[in-house]
A = this chain, B = another copy of it.
Amino acid sequence: MSNRTDVRRVLDTVKAEGRTALTAPEGKVVCEAYGIAVPKEGVATSAADAAKIATAMGFPVVLKIVSPDILHKTEAGGVLVGVKSAEDAQKGYDTIIANAKKYNAKANVLGVQVQEMLTGGQEVIIGAVTDPVFGKLVAFGLGGVLVEVLKDITFRLAPATEADALSMLDGIAAAQILKGVRGAHPVNRDALAKMIQNVSQLIADYPEIAEMDLNPVFATRDDAIAADVRIVVNFSPAPARYRPKHEDIVRDMNRIMKPKAVAVIGASSEAGKIGNSVMKNLINGGYKGQIYPINPSADEIMGRKAYKSVMDVPADIDVAVFAIPAKFVAAAIAECGEKKIPGAVLIPSGFAEVGNHEGQKELVSVAQKYGVRLMGPNIYGFYYTWSNLCATFCTAYDVKGHAALSSQSGGIGMAIIGFSRSAKMGVSAIVGLGNKSDIDEDDLLTFFEQDDNTHIIVQHCEDLKDGRAFAEVAKRVSKKKPVVVLKAGRTSLGSKAASSHTGALAGNDKIYDDVLRQSGVIRARSLREMLEFARALPILPTPKGDNIVIITGAGGSGVLLSDAVVDNGLSLMAFPPDLDGAFKKFIPPFGASGNPVDITGGEPPKTYQNTVRFGLEDPRIHSLILGYWHTIVTPPMVFAKLLAEIVEEMRGKGIDKPVVVSLAGDVEVEEASEYLFDHKIPAYPYSTEIPVDVLGAKYKWARAAGLL
């Protein structure tokens, strides 16, 4: 194996020659430097030479044109496979040279590569791309139609860990192929994973390597060898984005989100004005810190002394909420900078969202000069309930809880507030990010990570300015707290110019999906699901194992709940005989044995009580899904109360397992569901899927966080 200086030398040559791709021999050098196995090969410069090299290597061989000007070798008639003798090698050389001349008379032909022909095993593709959002990514898929037509390919951030690489082998729909079907040998997973890791390390090490295809790679039970290597370079990659240091983000975000003093720039006494709504929300919301109204033409606003500028305030200010027209914003940020205010909450619109990109750039440049962090512009502001802080012109919200939500769009922000109020959902914060000129999702993650009032972080976003920064932070944070993301714009793949096969296969949303999963993020599939997760996940304990049991009064619910279990990638516990017997003791003789435990319809409260209690007490059972059926024998509120009582009693004994409930019945089940939610048991009327989706999300998180 040659060392990495060889890679540098190859790249320097390519750069010096103004090329955008490596030749096959150059590719081989690079691969060998990174321990990526390639076939035996040599470059022939004459027909006789070709025969000689091939004979030394052993037949069959492949012949391939070597020319920096011919990227699509097959198209150019520059590839011959299955060459079986010295004579054929000689003839083949001449054919290829002739084809190449015909294809491109001006092509600089360096010779013909003679390569050991790999056969057998499974053809796969390993590649790499530079994504505008996430940067360097490594890709893996099976060769042929699967990757071509079904886009059955998976991505990870580069460099990829061994676990990442192994997860890619299971991350394609046709994963089973790798395990050997129709009597084929399974591939050597370690060899494949190692190659994925090596490719990911290579592209991570060299910013100028933009795209890469190893296609096909022959994966056998013994090894993995890349039969063809294509490497595309770009010597002027986009510069890395500026990121404040972690401790600076934490310090500034804490002052912004939990301020001791707030200035309202553009505060007003006039009802209907945004500056008035913000003042009212701050005061009426019960915020206990200092509030400084800033208004050049007022002495006093809502009983507080007003100042002409933040610079006139004779005390420290942690955050300034802006309620002034767009044209005055830049100057006011400068004043905040002079005053050493770490954060500006820019409610004003009139910037990038209306095409005023220059105006927005100006804000950012002023803010960066002074080190002021910007939230917005074009936002509703934010809430931080544990400080009774409503730094927004929207209606106040004060139900304290542990979900921190953010939205890129004001409309979605309003939906969050409406749903929260309707469901009495406890939140720690609701934040509008709007144009994201500065503060974005990863800043919020960094704050909420260390905010003890926040137990789950839920974010709606349409794009990520810096996907890599987000993924890095999310990977760390999601180990501690669930991170849920609703990524909008899933289905607009956009059009991408890509010169590699892997690049062409990289649908934008597939990358988001893979990288978010790699980062431990739970992806919500819809707005309502995002909201349901925000509501339920903080009150649902983390499961300690995979053994899920359904206890139901309605056989029909049991069937639908079982469907939902499978849909969520969960499975029902297979009962050992003693467990089956234990449940059977509590239920009528015709109740269904096994899991689901069907206690049957007409049962009294005692039967629910006994089975649920047993399910919670037996240490082999880790989670319960309950399917309640409304009957006059056990009315909804009777069920809800008995369930809440048992769960509380068990919590008192240190037994705190996830319990989710589906309630089938007349409208009284709505009150019962609310009661259960109030007692920290996620419960849903008229739905067999939401309770299980919620449980599934908690399992997904627990697995990604390494807790299961």
Q: Which residues of A contact B (CB under 8 A)?
A: 145-146, 148-150, 173-174, 176-177, 181-182, 272, 349, 353-355, 394-395, 407-412, 414-415, 417-419, 421-422, 460, 462, 486, 488-492, 526-528, 531, 552-557, 559-560, 562-567, 588-590, 601, 627, 629-630, 632, 664-670, 685-690
Contact = CB atoms under 8 A, between A and B. Distances in A.
A563 B629 contact: no
A418 B556 contact: no
B666 A395 contact: yes
Contacts of A630: 414, 418
Contact of A491 (B415, B489, B553, B566): B566
Contact of A490 (B145, B563, B588): B563
Given A148-B181, A149-B176, A415-B664, 16 more contacts: A409-B555, A409-B556, A411-B555, A411-B557, A411-B601, A412-B556, A412-B560, A418-B668, A419-B686, A422-B667, A462-B556, A490-B566, A491-B565, A526-B687, A527-B687, A527-B688
A403 to B, nearest CB: 15
Contacts of A417: 665-666
B590 A418 contact: no
Contact of A354 (B149, B553, B567, B590): B590
Contacts of A559: 409, 462, 488-489, 492
A149 B181 contact: yes
A668 B670 CA distance: 19
Contacts of A407: 556
Contacts of A669: 418
10 contacts: A272-B632, A354-B590, A411-B627, A414-B629, A417-B666, A460-B556, A491-B565, A526-B688, A527-B689, A528-B689
A686 B557 contact: no
A492 to B, nearest CB: 7
B667 A412 contact: no
Nearest to A152: B150
A251 to B, nearest CB: 30
Which residue, A177, A182, A557, A564, has most C-beta atoms of chain B within 10 A?
A557
Interface centre among A407, A421, A526, A689 (most CB of B within 10 A): A526
Nearest to A417: B666
Nearest to A588: B354
Given A150-B174, A411-B553, A601-B411, A145 B666 contact: no
A665 B414 contact: yes
Contacts of A489: 559, 562-563
Central interface residue in A354, A527, A557, A629, by most chain B CB within 10 Å = A527
A225 to B, nearest CB: 21
A498 to B, nearest CB: 17
Given A181-B149, A492-B562, A685-B418, A412 B527 contact: no
Nearest to A552: B411
Ranked nearest first, the 6 interchain pairs of A and B with the lowest CB-CB distance are: A409-B556, A411-B554, A354-B590, A491-B566, A415-B664, A526-B689
B555 A414 contact: no
A70 to B, nearest CB: 18
A141 B373 CA distance: 57
Contacts of A588: 354
Contact of A666 (B414, B664, B689): B414
A575 to B, nearest CB: 16
A419 B349 CA distance: 42
A590 B630 CA distance: 53
B664 A418 contact: yes
Given A149-B176, A412-B664, A629-B414, A491 B353 contact: no
A670 B395 CA distance: 16
Contacts of A488: 556, 559-560, 563
A552 B412 CA distance: 12
B411 A145 contact: no
A484 to B, nearest CB: 15
A177 B688 contact: no
B686 A528 contact: yes
A146 B557 CA distance: 34
A527 B560 contact: yes
Contacts of A526: 560, 564, 687-689
A354 B593 CA distance: 12
A629 B557 contact: no
Contacts of A355: 590
Contacts of A685: 415, 418-419, 422
Contacts of A566: 490-491
Contacts of A146: 145-146
Nearest to A560: B488
A415 to B, nearest CB: 4
A272 to B, nearest CB: 8
Nearest to A628: B411
Nearest to A689: B526
B686 A554 contact: no
Given A174-B150, A528-B690, A686-B528, A563 B491 contact: yes
Nearest to A350: B590
* Residue among A409, A564, A687 having the largest count of chain B Cβ atoms under 10 Å: A409
A629 B411 contact: yes
Given A419-B686, A526-B689, A686-B419, A557 B354 contact: no
A263 B349 CA distance: 70
A419 B630 CA distance: 13
A246 to B, nearest CB: 29
A359 to B, nearest CB: 12
A673 B619 CA distance: 46
A418 B666 contact: yes
A567 B527 CA distance: 14
Nearest to A529: B689
B528 A418 contact: no
Nearest to A527: B688
Given A531-B686, A686-B527, A182 B410 contact: no
Contact of A664 (B411, B492, B557, B670): B411
A458 to B, nearest CB: 14
